[in-house]
Amino acid sequence: MWRRLVDLDRRWIFLIVGLAVVVPLLCPLRLPIEPSAPTRGVYAAIEALPPGALVCMSFDYGPGTKVECHPMALAALRHAFRKDLKVVAIALWPEGALFAREALRQVGAEMDRVEGVDYVNLGYKSGGEVVLRGIADDFRNIYSTDLSGRRVDELPLMNRVRGWKSFDLVCDWSMGNPGFLQYVRVVATQYGRPLVAGVTAVTAPEAYPFLDSGQVQGLLSGLRGAAEYEVMVGHPGTATRGMDAQSVVHFVIAGFIVVANLLYFAERREHKRRQERSR
């Protein structure tokens, strides 16, 4: 039996790993996920806001990191709209404006929110930190229209928005530069606005010191952070399914390692027995 396993065609291994990925994505297992303290910080920051409070969300990611950052944004929007918060979306990445539109329309339709009244998508402006500093005391310094080309003064929600001081909370969903660090420098440090963020797993180590210093109230780290937040909001989505798949694959690979080592020792023992018989 063990000899057949040693000679097993590697394509069977590829098939098993593939199934370990696909099956949890199609049939969620809902494996238990315990939210971390940084994730609870994001949840607490939004949960503490009163109905009608203003939140700015910045969509600073591209297609390559959508799988990590987009579920964060969706979960935060569901949380914000459930609390009847008003959301102004901007983007420092070109693709971010389109992801913001996708997320706002999806969650807005789910929760009967009206564009221009409950949320606004101002779109993308190039310049990174220059844009954030240019907004200063008035968004109209940078944005004269929203993503659809409507003048901001014609949007009811924008009547409440001047500069950064207008916002009760700022959220940045970021894959790198420009993004998180610029928001820490300008929005949190210069203007003293409460800031929470979601970053990719590879950039999280750079972000944690700002969490420890208190400049950031909460932090979502990669797919795991997005899944934790989905669970806290009560709406498991793509991140939760992704963590199911990741966990199952880890178990499968660990199982392969254990079996491979057992087969190695079995083969070595058999080899020794053959040597002893030949003497």
From the candidate CATH numbers 3.40.50, 3.30.1490, 2.40.160, 1.20.140, the one assigned to the domain spanning 37-235: 3.40.50
Residue 30 token pair: 């809902």
The residue written with tokens 């238990």 in the block is 32
DSSP secondary structure, 157-205, as one string: GGGG--SGGG-SEEEEEESSTTTHHHHIIIIIIIS---EEEEE-TTTHH
Please report the pLDDT score of residue 3 as a whole number: 65
Question: What is the average per-residue pLDDT within 244-268?
Answer: 78
CA–CA separation, 106 and 150 (whole Å): 20
The residue written with tokens 């966990």 in the block is 247
Task: Place 19 in a pLDDT band, splitting at 50, 70 and 90.
Answer: confident
- Tens of pLDDT, residue by residue over 149-164, are 999 999 999 999 999 9
Q: Which of 196, 202, 232 is nearest to 216 (CA)?
A: 196
Element (H, E) at 180: helix 180-183
Residue of 1 and 92 predicted with greater confidence: 92
Please report the pLDDT score of residue 1 as a whole number: 59
Residue type at 169 in one-letter notation: L
Peptide bond into 178 cis (omega under 30): yes
Please report the pLDDT score of residue 251 as a whole number: 80
Q: What is the mean pLDDT of the chain?
A: 90
- Tens of pLDDT, residue by residue over 79-120, are 999 999 999 999 999 999 999 999 999 999 999 999 999 999
Q: How many helices (H) and strands (E) does the chain have?
A: 10, 6
